[in-house]
Structure formats: C-alpha cells, structure tokens
Structure 1
Amino acid sequence: MGKLGRFACIFVPMALTVASLICLILVFSGQLNKNMQIQNDLYFFKANTKDFTTNPDVLENTNIDNILLNSLQHAASSGELKDFYKVGLWNYCEGETDGKGKEKVTYCSPRKASFWFNPIEVWELQNTTADQLFPEKMKDGIEAYHKVSKWMFTAYVIAICLTAAEIVVGIFAIFSRWGSLVTTVVSSAQTIFILAAAITSTALYGALAGTFDSVLRPVKIKASLGSKMLSVVWLGVAFSIASGFFWLVSVCCCSGKSGHKKVVVEKTPYTYERVASPYLGAQQGSSSNVPMHNTGKSGHGTSGSAYEPFRHERV
C-alpha cells in the first residue's frame, strides 16, 4: 500500500475537517455584510416588528405593561423601530420590508466579541430599564441570554481555532500513525467545543425566541430562530464527529509501509551452475545451440564444444 495508501486513508478525515471549518466560517460570517445575501440569511434569532400595533382593540385582553407599550410606540413613531432585526454571532442587522415581503438590510452594527442583543439599547427605549420595562419572565430571559452569550462566543472561537489546528496537525498524519494519534486528540477536543457551542446556541436562542414571542406577540412582534444558521452549525458538528472517527481509524490502519518484501532464494549446497557462454569461447546468446553432451573427437583431442563445462561451487 505504501505512502499512497496512507495518503488516501488520511484524505477522508482531512476533507471532513475542512468541511467543518467551512461551516464555522459561515457561522462567524453571519450578519457581517449587509450587501451579501448569504450572510443576511444566516442569523440565530430574528425579531419581526413590521406589524407592531398599539390598537386598543388588539391590546384589550393583554397583560403588557403600559410603560412597555408607550416606549415601543415612541420608538415606532420616531422611526427607531425597524421592520426586522437579525442577530448573528458578532452583531445584529436591521432593515425594512417592502409591500411584497422582500427584506432590505439598511444597517449592521459594529462587530463585538461576546455580542448580545439588548432590545432596550437597540430600540432606544430611553429612560427605561429592564426592571421598569419588561415583565419578570422577559427580564429573566434576557439576563440569562446576556450571561450565557459570553460562554457561547468563547466556545465558537475555541472550536474554530482547534479546527484550524486539526488541519495543520493532520498533515503530519500522512507520514505516521503517531501523527494520526495526535490529530485524533485535537479532533476530540474540537468536537467537544463545537458540540457545546451548538447546544448552547440552540438552547439559548430557542429560549430567547420563546420569551420574546410569548410576551410581545400581543403587539404583533414575532420572534423566531434562524433555521439556516442552526442547520450550518449542526452540519459542522456532524462533519466534526465523522472526521474524529476516521482520524481514529487511521491510527489503527494504513501504516504507510510497503507490503512487498524482497524474496531471497537460497541455493542448495553442492549444486552446479552453468558457466556463461563467453567462457566457452562462443558468441553471446549462442549457448542454446551448443550440444549438451557431445562425445565426438576432432584432431588430437576434444574440441571446445565437446563438453559443456560446469563450475563446481559450494554455496
């Protein structure tokens, strides 16, 4: 099999690792560029505020506090409340929706490590705090989201760094099983962090969307999860788990050493070996025409072709 077989054995886990890295890059790129459609479609959480209303007939049987209603109404009338808000890993983007339902991103906030979406700040609900503005359920949900978002961001950063390291270390796995063993260790750590990040983001934004939706749905503010972003995240997890399995297989298989061994044929002791034709004075390649045993005589003795000489050799 040799080195070529070893390379083929390493190719599969390496390709899966690269695929996992691409998924993480897409996660990091979500909402970073308002002019890129693929990035605009990648978000963890979306608040749709286009249909926001303070119609008394709609709000008659709701429990929303008047302070919250007044603050939202002020934001809507002043133009601070946009039609939608999409939350990524680094920032959020906002924009408008036309009559046909087509969205256009008008602004993306600056990138920030450990970013979290603060509706009071984003919607510019002046002179209010979470204690004054939100009901207990929503306030607790936002506070939990704020705390856990730091860990989630850290997990994603560690995961993408370990994925890059896995690719670099994986190059050395082409040459030996020890390289595969080290790569398997790195891959296992990478799987732990990307899995933790995926679980955290899914649970965190799922809870946040549920909180927003239950509290603000009466005023026609709807919250939802980003299915495309979460699909990319969990696809990256699947690639990571698969690559770890194949890295482990490469530790046990495909050593990289050639399977062909040189065969040495031993000669039997006291055997006879035919002497090459030049020894007989004949032309090269004519030995097959020389009689094996010719007892004929010529002149005063035996001719050069009378007997075929053999060399007696002890091996």
Structure 2
Amino acid sequence: MRIFNRRRNQTAAPAASSAPELSRDQIKRATRTRKTWSLLTSFFLFITVIFLILVEIASTRNTSNINSWYFIRIDLSHIIPNTVPNFTLINTIAQSLGLHDFYQVGLWGFCEGYKAQGVTFCSNPQALYWFNPVEILRNELLAGASINLPADINDILDLIKIASQVMFGFFLTSACLSFVLMFVVPFSVFSRWAALPIAILTFINALLVTVASIIGTAMFIIFRNVIAGVSELNISATIGSYLFGFMWTATAFAIFAWLVQTGLCCCCASRRDVRTGRKRGNEKAYHTDTSGAPVSGAGQGASEKPKRRFRFGRSNA
C-alpha cells in the first residue's frame, strides 16, 4: 500500500508544480497574445459599425456628401426614345407633368432630382422602407396624368418589398450587434469558456450582414436588368458603387471578426488557463516581470533544466 501511495504522490507533484504562483502583471504578460487578438477583433467590429452606419445614412438627407450613396439610380430624363419624333419636346412635357430626371434609392428612403440641379428632395426616413416605383411615379405626376409601366416591373414589386424589409432588418440588427460586441469581445481574455458564446454571437452577426449584402446585391441587380430590358420606355438604371462597397466592406470585416474570435476558443492561453496551469502562455512572463527584471519562484523553476544540463556536461568532462 505504501508503494501505491508513493506513486500517487509522485504523479500529483508535477500537476501541483505546473501552476506556479504568478503575479498579476505576470499573468497579463502571459496572456498578452490573446489580448492582442481580442483587441484586433474589436477593431474589426469597429470598422464594421462604421461602414454599416454609412449604409444606414445613405439617401436620408439632401447633402452633397451623401448624394452619391445609393443602391440604384433610375434615370427618366430620356423616357421617350430618340426614335420617336419630337422626343425632346415630349420629354420636356413629361417633366412638366411632375417627373424628375432621376430617382435614387437608399435603405431608409429615396431621393429625386434633376441633372442640372442635382438632388432636390429626399423622402423622410421610414423603417422597413421598400422602393415602389409605381407608387412614387403616381404621386409625382399631376392630377389626371398617368404613365403605364411594363408588366415586368409590376411582377417583381412583391419580391422587392419582402427582400427590402429583410435587408433593412438584417443591416440594422447587425449594426447594433456589432456595436455591442465591440465592447464584449475583450472579456474573452479571461476564459475560453467566455469566448465560446461571444464567438456564436460574432457568427450570427457575420451571417446577418452577409445575407443582407447578398439580398441587396441580387435584388438591385435583378431590378436594374428588368428596367434595362424594357423596350417600350427609354429608362436606364445604374448600381451605386459607393454603397455596395460600404456594405461588402462591412461584411468582410464582420467575417474576419468571427474567424478570429472562433480561433480564440481553442488557441492562445487565457488568464484562467494560466492560473490553473492548463496553459503557460508567453514564456517570457515566467522569467521576467513587467519591468524586465528576473523574478523568483516560477522563473527559477523554469530555469532549472538548463542548469542541470550544464552540470551534466561538466561531470562528463
């Protein structure tokens, strides 16, 4: 029985010595790598929030800075083709009936204007907004005037409504969630168990902004192609490169934040790991303190092996 007790004591001794007493500064230094990656994740989320804000404020106000930010711009300045006799006069009459030269769409509303004057009016921001060109043109025309749009545009209105509202909800939710996670992510330094739920939230955030960007890209490209395929009217549409760049940049950094945070679930020693001895972290923390001076205790224990090798070499000599 004494032999078994000795073996148990011998096997328990390394486990106890694997968790040396470390100062607070040493623990911080041992987990410096994990802290760096956590702060990098927060920085990625910060960039995500910035670009999502740019997506949110596009076409919400008639200011020169954001007039060029839109999902799609519909040009009605030459609604009558050049092949029609007196097309210039007819286009002028169409403008006098209430039509503007262009309409551009944002997440919260739309803006309209003339090529010579630029944007002249932006609608009031509206939650769950969706662009209905039929309703807008009917409201713009004077009383008694009407315009018949092709059936292809009317057929996709229901799809535009559903897709626009889903995109609106996902972008707004992702902006709020990214802002909160930006301050929550640094808590993953303390424990890998804390990093797991944060990683799940960053995955949900990346999923929301990615799906919203895909919906917006597909919806407005289809809408542009439908308008370009109309042969009865000379209507053109262009995709806004700025706003598309904003939303896909936000998507990319949200994905980067999720990948880094997922890696923190299994990589880099946390402060709990260092305290319990599961992982050592940065080895420099066991040899020197934060000022660079040698430490006693754990640092001396870590340097015992090199001393034994030196003595062994001398005995052979």
Q: In the alignment, is the contact (CA less than 8 A) between 1:165 and 1:186 conserved in 2? A: no
* Counterpart-to-counterpart distance in 1, 2:171 and 2:184: 20
* Counterpart-to-counterpart distance in 1, 2:62 and 2:128: 20
What is the CA-CA distance between 1:46 and the residue it aligns to?
0.5
* Counterpart-to-counterpart distance in 2, 1:84 and 1:24: 25
1:76 counterpart (95, 100, 103): 95
Q: Structure 2 regions of 5+ residues with no counterpart?
A: 1-28, 275-280, 287-297, 303-317
Q: In the alignment, is the contact (CA less than 8 A) between 1:177 and 1:252 conserved in 2? A: yes
1:119 counterpart (104, 115, 133): 133
Pick 1 or 2: higher relative contact order, CA cutoff 8 A, min separation 6: 2
Q: In the alignment, is the contact (CA less than 8 A) between 2:35 and 2:186 conserved in 1? A: no
* Counterpart-to-counterpart distance in 1, 2:158 and 2:94: 22
> Are residue 46 (structure 1) and residue 73 (structure 2) matched?
yes
Q: Any residues of structure 2 matched to 1:208-227 within 5 Å, and which?
A: 208-215=223-230, 218-227=232-241
2:112 counterpart (76, 82, 94): 94
After TM superposition, the score normalised by the length of structure 1 is 0.70
Q: Any residues of structure 2 matched to 1:19-168 within 5 Å, and which?
A: 19-37=47-65, 39-53=66-80, 57=84, 75-78=94-97, 80-98=98-116, 104-123=118-137, 124-125=140-141, 133-168=148-183
Q: CA, structure 1 residues 34+159, in 2 after alignment: closer, same or farther (shift >3 Å)?
A: same
Indicate the structure (1 or 2) with the bigger Cα radius of gyration: 1
Q: Considering only aligned residues, what root-mean-square deviation do their CA atoms show, in Å?
A: 2.8
What is the CA-CA distance between 1:77 and the residue it aligns to?
2.1
After TM superposition, the score normalised by the length of structure 2 is 0.69
What SS is found at the alignment partner of 1:52? coil
Q: In the alignment, is the contact (CA less than 8 A) between 1:6 and 1:175 conserved in 2? A: no
* Counterpart-to-counterpart distance in 2, 1:59 and 1:209: 27
Match of residue 193 from structure 1: 208
* Counterpart-to-counterpart distance in 1, 2:223 and 2:208: 22
* Counterpart-to-counterpart distance in 2, 1:138 and 1:33: 27
* Counterpart-to-counterpart distance in 2, 1:56 and 1:264: 91
Instruction: Name the structure where helix makes up a greater proportion of residues.
Output: 2
What is the CA-CA distance between 1:59 and the residue it aligns to?
11
Q: Structure 1 regions of 5+ residues with no counterpart?
A: 61-69, 266-315
2:135 counterpart letter in structure 1:
E
What is the CA-CA distance between 1:154 and the residue it aligns to?
1.3
What is the total number of aligned residue pairs between the two structures?
246
Match of residue 33 from structure 2: 5
Runs of 4+ in 1 over 4 A off after TM superposition: 72-75, 125-129
2:185 counterpart letter in structure 1:
G
Q: Any residues of structure 2 matched to 1:138-287 within 5 Å, and which?
A: 138-215=153-230, 218-256=232-270, 257=274, 259=283, 260=286, 261-263=298-300
What is the CA-CA distance between 1:127 and the residue it aligns to?
6.4
